A and B are shown apart, each in its own frame.
Chain A
Amino acid sequence: DSGVTQTPKHLITATGQRVTLRCSPRSGDLSVYWYQQSLDQGLQFLIQYYNGEERAKGNILERFSAQQFPDLHSELNLSSLELGDSALYFCASSVQMNTEAFFGQGTRLTVV
């Protein structure tokens, strides 16, 4: 158990809908990362937060947004969902930037 908690574990939703994925980092970790993992794209970095502020942005679509709250948990919002958004979404946390990251078990999103 990495100490990073993601909910829900599985999500099935229809095209055009909006979902929210939640991540609770390890106790004491200030940095949160979001990744998308799909069979054809591999592991894609989406966005990073550090102590509530956005610090790095990767291949995140405009339909996607995220935030980190004062209690350091983070949410990833995916809207106007398309079939191609079906993937595993991972959250990771680290105590500081540039140190090892610990991953949650992921949320498997299926868009039908």
Chain B
Amino acid sequence: GDSVTQMEGPVTLSEEAFLTINCTYTATGYPSLFWYVQYPGEGLQLLLKATKADDKGSNKGFEATYRKETTSFHLEKGSVQVSDSAVYFCALTSKRTGNQFYFGTGTSLTVIP
């Protein structure tokens, strides 16, 4: 079945460091891909999305490119801030998944000053 695999955390970075969180997916057909972020004590917030191959989603300095050839959707940010400390979830949905959202296990990011 369809699934999402995220890199294991937790990840700890110094402020202004480069961030990559890996996400790969398994899906039949052409899913839509998402990154969500969860700050402590809050719900999940949509960070960015891509709906077809080679699309690049971007928001708040974060970027991810839908790579069908490598079935990946890695999240990147050039310079992280302390305020980026949160848990990041990769997700997919498609008509073939019955329109369910499949989430990865989440990657906890801590940014230290």
Contact = CB atoms under 8 A, between A and B. Distances in A.
A56 B99 contact: yes
A98 B101 CA distance: 8
A105 interface: yes
B46 A42 contact: no
Interface residues of A, number: 24
Contact-size category for B: 20 to 34
Given A33-B101, A55-B98, A98-B94, A42 B106 contact: yes
B95 to A, nearest CB: 6
A45 B43 contact: no
Interface in B10-52: 32, 34, 36, 42-46, 49
Interface of B: 32, 34, 36, 42-46, 49, 89, 93-95, 98-103, 105-106
9 contacts: A33-B101, A42-B105, A45-B102, A45-B103, A92-B44, A98-B93, A100-B32, A103-B36, A103-B45
